Structure formats: C-alpha cells, structure tokens
Amino acid sequence: MRAVFLDRDGVINKKPPEGEYVISWEGFKFLPRVPEAIRRLNELKILVIIITNQRGVALGYLTEKKLNEIHQKMLRELKNLGALIDAIYYCPHDKGTCLCRKPEVGLFLQAKKDFPEIDFLSSFVVGDSRSDIEAGKKLGCKTILISPGLKEDDTNNLPSPHFIAADLAEAVEKFIAKII
C-alpha cells in the first residue's frame, strides 16, 4: 500500500524561525491548502502519516504531553475540515542521540510495523529539509522537497529530491500525476 509521509513544520504548519519551536496551539498555524491536499490523499485511499523531529522537547521548550495536545488539536481541526491523518510519529530527542530522528529511519520503520501493508518503494516522503529527503531516499521512497519559489532545475546545494513543490497541495498533485 502506498503511503505519503509528511513532515510537520514547514509542510503542514508554518515553520517557526531557526532556533524557535511550536510550543503551543496558538503558535501552530496551518499553511494554505493543507486540509484540501490531505483530503485529496484520503479520497485516493492513501495512508497519510506525519513523521516529525521535535527537538524542542529535548531542549525543554515543551513537554511530550504538550506536544501531544498540539497534535490532538491539529487532528481535530483537520478532521473538522474532512482531512484525516492516519498516524503521527515524532522524535523528541536532540541531534545525534537516537535512531528515530530524521535522517535516521526509525520512525518510518515503526510506521511500517504498525501498518505492515506499507510499501516504501511506492510511497513518498514530503518535507522541507535535507533530513526529510535523506530519510526518504534511504527507504527507497520518492521524495518531494517543499521549497516555495524554487524551480525543479534549481537544485544547487539541495539533497537531490525527486520533485520540488511550492507547498503540500502542489506536492500532492505531483504525487497523483506520478501514480496515475
């Protein structure tokens, strides 16, 4: 079964400035067209799974309880808009201290354990950073880099994604074009 693995910050919600973290629901702002894009994947019976590094927990900016509250509110808001997320996996650790923080693939392997029907080779990873793309490539997934204003042929200093998109909605359209 195909899955689309989404990063959170910078794909689902507005990414905070470098060194800052989403530490409350008030700081969580959906990016444009996100619910519609997720709903489109739901219509196609594609698993939608969030895989996110949440270093702010390790640094003490928020607790795992608070992070889970933010995720539950996000899920409720999306559900109210007809968009469903099948699962969320997060790494609360600091850099270099675990095997679950992207670009490591521990969270993806956990998702595969929970959803054994996932076929990585027919799945996509959508993210806004090098670590997202590297993780996807390790698994054999197709990768889409979210980078507003960047063109497909403007790949200097990038982690060589399979595709580049301005936002999640465009990424979903590229995904659909590839599978149909």
Is 91 marked as binding a ligand? yes
Is 100 marked as binding a ligand? yes
Is 7 marked as binding a ligand? yes
The answer to whether 168 and 11 have CB atoms below 8 angstroms apart is yes
Is 9 marked as binding a ligand? yes
153 catalytic residue (yes or no):
no
Q: Which of 9, 86, 94, 153 is catalytic?
A: 9
Q: Which of 7, 86, 94, 154 is catalytic?
A: 7
Q: What crossing angle do the helices spanning 34-43 and 64-80 adopt, rounded to 10°? A: 70
Q: Which helix (H) or strand (E) holds 59?
A: none
86 catalytic residue (yes or no):
no
The answer to whether 3 and 49 have CB atoms below 8 angstroms apart is yes
Q: What share of the chain is helix, strand, coil (3-state, %, to 5)?
A: 40, 15, 45
Nearest to 166 by CA among 156, 157, 154: 154
- Binding site listing: 7, 9, 91, 93, 98, 100, 128
- Binding site listing for Zn(2+): 91, 93, 98, 100
- Binding site listing for Mg(2+): 7, 9, 128
Catalytic residue IDs: 7, 9
